[in-house]
Amino acid sequence: MSFPLFDLTGKTALITGSSQGIGLALARGLAEHGATVILNGRDEAKLADAQKQLSADGFAVHAVAFDATDQASVAAGIDRIEAEIGAIDILINNAGMQYRSPLEDFPADKWQQLLTTNISSVFYVGQAVARHMITRGHGKIINIASVQSELARPGIAPYTATKGAVKNLTKGMSTDWARHGLQVNAIAPGYFKTPLNQALVDNPEFSAWLEKRTPAARWGNVDELVGAAVFLSGKGSSFVNGHTLYVDGGITISL
Report helix, strand and coil shares of the chain as percent, to nearest 5. 55, 15, 30
Residue 17 per-residue DSSP state: S
The catalytic position among 99, 124, 159, 246 is: 159
Q: What angle do CA 231, 235, 241 make, to 5 degrees?
A: 70
Q: Please list the residues that pair with 220 across neighbouring strands.
A: 192
- Whether 139 and 133 have beta carbons less than 8 Å apart is answered as yes
Q: How far is CA 219 from the centre of its chain?
A: 18
Give CA separation, 22 vs 102, 196, 221, 224, 230, in Å.
Answer: 26, 10, 9, 10, 14
Active-site residue flag, 159:
yes
- Whether 73 and 67 have beta carbons less than 8 Å apart is answered as yes
* β-bridge pairing 90-93 and 182-189: unpaired
Residue 104 per-residue DSSP state: G
- Whether 184 and 178 have beta carbons less than 8 Å apart is answered as yes
- Whether 99 and 159 have beta carbons less than 8 Å apart is answered as yes
Helices assigned H by DSSP within 41-70: 44-56
- Whether 154 and 246 have beta carbons less than 8 Å apart is answered as no
Catalytic residues: 159
